[in-house]
Amino acid sequence: MHTDGNPTTGTSAREHLSGLLEGLLKRAPGATRALLSSGDGLKLAFTEQSPDDADSLAAVISGLYSLGRQQFKNTAGGIRQVVVEHDGGRLFVMSAGAEFTDDRAVNTVLAVVAAPGADAGQVGYEMETFIRGLDEHLVVQARPNSFSGSGM
C-alpha cells in the first residue's frame, strides 16, 4: 500500500478512501459493499469484500462503464450511472471525477452493491454526495504503455 505522505497519521491513502466508503455504506441503508476503481479496472479502495472479489468487481464495473460509453460515443456528455437489477440485489455504477478532462487521466468509477429492498434514490444520492466530496481526488493518472512499439 502507498502511504499518503503524512507521517502523523500513519494511514495510507487507500485505507483513508476505504474508511470514507464505509461511511457511504452507513448512510445508504441496504448498501452492502462499495468499491472505487479506475475506469480501466484497477481497484483503488473497497469495503466488505475480499481483495479477489474486489478485483472481480472492478473488472465488471470497468466493462459496464466502457459499454455504456461506447453506446453513446457520438453523443455529447458522459455516462453518469449504470444500474444492474438482479433478484439478489442491485449494482450501482457511477462515474466519478467526470469533470476532469486531462487526456492523460483515467476516469474513476464508484460501485455500490445493495440488497433488493434498498432505496435506490437514497443509494444514488449518497453516491453523488461521496463523489462531490472527493471531486479532484477521484482522477487517476493513466498507466504508461509498457510497449514502446520500437520492437525492442
Question: What is the average pLDDT score of the chain?
Answer: 79
Tell me the mean pLDDT in the region 112-140: 84
- Return the number of other C-beta atoms located less than 10 Å from residue 105's C-beta: 15
Per the model's pLDDT, the better-predicted residue between 78 and 142 turns out to be 78
pLDDT of residue 67: 87
Asked if 113 contacts 32 with a C-beta cutoff of 8 angstroms, the reply is yes
pLDDT of residue 143: 53
The C-alpha cell that represents 144 in the structure block: 504508461
Per the model's pLDDT, the better-predicted residue between 45 and 141 turns out to be 45
- Global pTM exceeds 0.85: no
Residue 140 confidence (pLDDT) above 60: no
How far is Cα of residue 3 from the mean position of the Cα atoms in its chain? 20
Q: Helices (DSSP H) in the chain: which residue ranges? A: 13-27, 51-71, 120-134
Residue 107 confidence (pLDDT) above 80: no
Give buried/exposed letters for 19-37 (b at 16+ CB in 10 A, else e): ebbeebbeebebbebbbbb
pLDDT of residue 138: 56
